[in-house]
């Protein structure tokens, strides 16, 4: 299957593994890339640029296929060493970067000079158009269904993707609600050039997270996510657990006066406890509604092969039959 995304990134299948905190390590990125998709290392999970450089080298030892690095630009009083992280990416020979968070314009010249292709995560058409205008090579369009931060517009992908297709000239992938061959065919039909999967890739054999996390995703239904931090206009979709209920109760009690400091204990520094130690109530953690479609824990190769076989069957058989 050839699309503008497979050609842009030099991959066999139009499937990208999104950057996920304390999930996107070399093991998962390499497994996805070896299976024909695009694996992504999560840059800020690595505590320092030197750590990221080592993780890139570790991934390169596991795959000879293209892989990328996610770099999220946070609105922080004391920001991470972004020049150092960009330098680690460039010196590590990585040619694909997934940016997220704040506008990446400041960092594009250094990346472009090194021949790096940039795909920026967007939750609205206006942000996608801005990414196109500043020189991003592609965008990941995240619908309201997605795990993590869906923005504040609450537009689902059945509307957002066709709108993006109407406005954008650069290629884009669908993110949020993507799990299988049906997702890929639907994304292509709605104008995307591929799909980005986060939650679905956590429930794979190679994902370096605690088995409790994988079991929780398999057990969850499409009704088991909640939206937190809405009063702060930093909305995040997370799996329903004790920490989520504690946070929502604080938001309810404090109302419009709630501050980030009030919920800090449920969101700050919790990912190692959850993802590595398997303490499922240590804090809130990002999970998409797509958990309702996740019913097993295959290898990345098995998952991607299955997605592509299902997509090809749908296009060849079901859709062809519909045309008579």
Write the pLDDT tens digit of every residue in 244-261. Answer: 999 999 999 999 999 999
Write the pLDDT tens digit of every residue in 268-286. Answer: 999 999 999 999 999 999 9
Provide the percentage of residues in the chain whose pLDDT is more than 70: 100
Position 86 scores a pLDDT of 98
Write the pLDDT tens digit of every residue in 191-226. Answer: 999 999 999 999 999 999 999 999 999 999 999 999
Position 324 scores a pLDDT of 75
- Choose among 230, 205, 235: nearest CA to 218: 205
Alpha helix segments (H runs only) across the chain:
4-9, 26-34, 49-60, 82-91, 108-113, 125-134, 157-167, 181-189, 199-202, 211-219, 242-254, 264-267, 271, 300-313, 320-322
Q: Which domains does the chain have, with CATH numbers?
A: 4-207 (3.20.20.70), 221-286 (no CATH)
Q: Is the pLDDT of residue 81 over 90?
A: yes
Angle at 107 between CA 88 and CA 198, to 5 degrees: 70
The three-class DSSP label of residue 231 is coil
Tokens 């500043």 belong to which residue? 134
Q: Is the pLDDT of residue 181 over 80?
A: yes
Q: Is the pLDDT of residue 38 over 80?
A: yes
Position 322 scores a pLDDT of 86
Mean pLDDT over 87-109 rounds to: 97
Q: Given pLDDT bands bounded at 50, 70 and 90, which one contains residue 76? A: confident
Position 320 scores a pLDDT of 84
């Amino acid at each position: 299957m050839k699309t503008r995304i497979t050609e842009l990134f030099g991959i066999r299948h139009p499937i990208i593994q999104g950057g996920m905190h304390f999930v996107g390590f070399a093991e998962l990125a390499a497994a996805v890339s070896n299976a024909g998709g695009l694996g992504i290392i999560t840059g800020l999970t690595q505590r320092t640029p030197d750590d990221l450089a080592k993780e890139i080298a570790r991934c390169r030892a596991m795959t000879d296929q293209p892989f990328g690095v996610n770099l999220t630009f946070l609105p922080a009083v004391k920001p991470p060493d972004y020049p150092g992280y960009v330098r680690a990416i460039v010196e590590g020979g990585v040619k694909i970067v997934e940016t997220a968070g704040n506008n990446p314009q400041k960092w594009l010249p250094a990346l472009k000079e090194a021949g790096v292709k940039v795909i920026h995560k967007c939750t609205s058409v206006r942000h996608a158009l801005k990414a196109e205008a500043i020189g991003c090579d592609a965008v990941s369009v995240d619908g309201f269904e997605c795990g993590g931060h869906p923005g504040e517009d609450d537009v689902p992908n059945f509307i957002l993707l066709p709108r993006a297709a109407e406005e954008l000239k650069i290629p884009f992938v669908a993110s949020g609600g993507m799990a299988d061959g049906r997702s890929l065919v639907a994304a292509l039909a709605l104008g995307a050039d591929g799909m980005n999967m986060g939650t679905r890739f956590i429930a794979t054999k190679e994902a370096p997270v605690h088995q409790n996390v994988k079991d929780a995703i398999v057990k969850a239904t499409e009704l088991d996510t909640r939206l937190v931090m809405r009063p702060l206009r930093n909305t995040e979709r997370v799996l329903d657990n004790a920490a989520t209920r504690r946070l929502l109760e604080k938001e309810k009690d404090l109302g419009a006066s709630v501050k980030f400091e009030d919920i800090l204990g449920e969101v700050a520094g919790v990912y190692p406890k959850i993802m590595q130690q398997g303490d499922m109530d240590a804090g809130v953690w990002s999970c998409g509604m797509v958990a309702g479609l996740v019913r097993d824990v295959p290898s990345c190769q098995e998952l991607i092969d299955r997605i592509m076989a299902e997509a090809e069957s749908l296009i060849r058989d079901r859709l062809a039959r519909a045309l008579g």
